[in-house]
């Protein structure tokens, strides 16, 4: 499957709070955020490969890290229901930042690692919890396990098994253990002249358990997965912010949409994305033909977050509302992440579904 050109030209990397692994976490969130953004912005990328030219994903090989590049992200968003029909959701994101290109010798310092990893997990069922971690790459503990093929960040793991993927993660007192099976082929992300590449699998079937204080429940549903590497935009290091929406509709359609805007409020937002029909055919969603507008805000600690939206594109007309409005995360790059419901009409027929909304760049510039 090939995504249409507008989707292939857009990538958003959004990550969150830093919890130091193997060291004491900083006690001042503002200082921690400033330190992280400054360090990320200072990475030169010198010595890492600059990608260009035609490319198509090769799986399962491309699930693994591409250490020749300076930055890389894996992100999975799952949209689930328990046996009683109550919605549940999970987002897991892992970011690798290269410090030393392959083949370059280190200077012997314990902190002169070849790469650092940052990740977040947000879980939502009858409660909501989020956690972010930051760690140096360590064989068998943080990074890619070449023996098992799994990605790991301490006790979080995402394994790409030949008989089905498995995700294990926790946030606070909540824990998820999920099996995933790709239901669509991988579609390439990026354009031949851009310095990054990657792929998305628009729909995976999901089944497993989520444990909360009230007990363990069985869940099932679907997920969206993407993996990108190369010269990626890093959160909090530029004047542009984004609103990201992923929807998986009950008619078998999948939507990925990015609304990009300047944090200083100047100019008009740009909207790009893709609508994948039940038959797997993708069509572009572009600013000229799409209306994606906020209709309601929720006041958090640091910002007023636009948590309810309308989406109109051709014969698609949807209302997008949060399952729970309290999705603000005091991450290093502050973010709102939450499970959303979509209800409306498509081609004159009622349609509904679940999705993930991810908002960045709100509050004081």
123 within domain boundaries:
yes
Q: H/E element holding 340? A: strand 335-346
348 within domain boundaries:
yes
* Residue 21 Cα distances to 24, 37, 43, 64, 119, angstroms: 8, 18, 21, 22, 11
The neighbouring-strand residues paired with 20 are 134
153 within domain boundaries:
yes
User: What is the rounded CA–CA span in Å between residue 105 and residue 89?
Assistant: 42
Confidence (pLDDT) at 87? 97
Q: What is the pLDDT of residues 266-298, one digit of tens each?
A: 888 889 999 999 988 888 888 888 999 999 999
165 within domain boundaries:
yes
Report how many domains make up the chain.
Answer: 1
Degrees to nearest 5, angle at CA 117 with 36 and 216: 110
pLDDT-based confidence at residue 232 (cuts at 50, 70, 90):
confident
- Domain containing 40 equals 5-360
154 within 8 A of 161, measured Cβ to Cβ = no
Confidence (pLDDT) at 235? 56
290 within domain boundaries:
yes
Could you tell me the CATH number of the domain that includes residue 220? 2.40.370.10
Q: Which of 186, 1, 3, 151 has its CA nearest to residue 72?
A: 151
Q: What is the pLDDT of residues 300-347, one digit of tens each?
A: 998 999 999 999 998 999 999 999 999 999 888 889 999 999 999 998
Q: What is the pLDDT of residues 52-68, one digit of tens each?
A: 888 889 999 999 999 89
User: What is the rounded CA–CA span in Å between residue 136 and residue 116?
Assistant: 4
338 within domain boundaries:
yes
Q: Residue 133 corresponds to which tokens in the numbers above?
A: 């971690």
320 within domain boundaries:
yes
Decide if pLDDT at 69 tops 70.
yes
pLDDT-based confidence at residue 231 (cuts at 50, 70, 90):
confident
pLDDT-based confidence at residue 7 (cuts at 50, 70, 90):
very low
Confidence (pLDDT) at 246? 97
365 within domain boundaries:
no
């Amino acid at each position: 499957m090939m995504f249409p050109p507008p989707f292939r030209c857009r990538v958003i990397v959004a990550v969150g709070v830093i919890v130091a692994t193997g060291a004491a976490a900083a006690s001042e969130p503002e200082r921690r955020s400033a330190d992280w953004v400054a360090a990320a912005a200072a990475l030169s990328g010198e010595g890492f490969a600059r990608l260009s030219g035609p490319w198509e994903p090769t799986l399962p090989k491309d699930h693994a890290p591409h250490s020749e590049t300076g930055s890389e992200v894996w992100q999975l968003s799952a949209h689930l229901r328990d046996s009683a029909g109550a919605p549940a959701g999970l987002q897991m994101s892992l970011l690798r930042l290269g410090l030393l290109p392959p083949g370059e010798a280190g200077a012997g310092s314990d902190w002169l690692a070849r790469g650092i990893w940052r990740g977040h997990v947000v879980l939502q069922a009858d409660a909501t919890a989020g956690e972010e971690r930051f760690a140096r790459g360590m064989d068998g503990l943080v990074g890619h396990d070449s023996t098992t093929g799994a990605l790991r960040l301490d006790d979080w793991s995402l394994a790409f098994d030949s008989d089905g993927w498995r995700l294990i993660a926790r946030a606070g007192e909540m824990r998820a253990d999920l099996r995933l099976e790709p239901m669509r082929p991988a579609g390439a992300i990026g354009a031949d002249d851009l310095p990054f590449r990657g792929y998305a699998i628009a729909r995976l079937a999901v089944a497993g358990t989520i444990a909360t204080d009230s007990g363990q429940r069985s869940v099932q549903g679907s997920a969206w997965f993407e993996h990108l590497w190369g010269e990626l935009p890093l959160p909090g290091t530029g004047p542009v912010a984004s609103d990201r929406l992923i929807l998986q509709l009950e008619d078998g359609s999948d939507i990925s949409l990015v609304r990009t805007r300047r944090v200083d409020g100047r100019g008009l937002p740009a909207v790009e994305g893709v609508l994948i029909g039940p038959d797997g055919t993708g069509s572009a969603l572009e600013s000229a033909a799409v209306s994606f507008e906020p209709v309601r805000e929720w006041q958090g600690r640091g910002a007023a977050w636009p948590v309810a939206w309308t989406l109109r594109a051709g014969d698609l007309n949807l209302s997008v509302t949060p399952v729970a409005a309290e999705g603000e995360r005091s991450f290093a790059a502050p973010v709102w992440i939450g499970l959303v419901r979509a209800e409306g009409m498509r081609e004159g027929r009622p349609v509904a579904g679940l999705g993930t909304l991810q908002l960045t760049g709100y509050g004081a510039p």
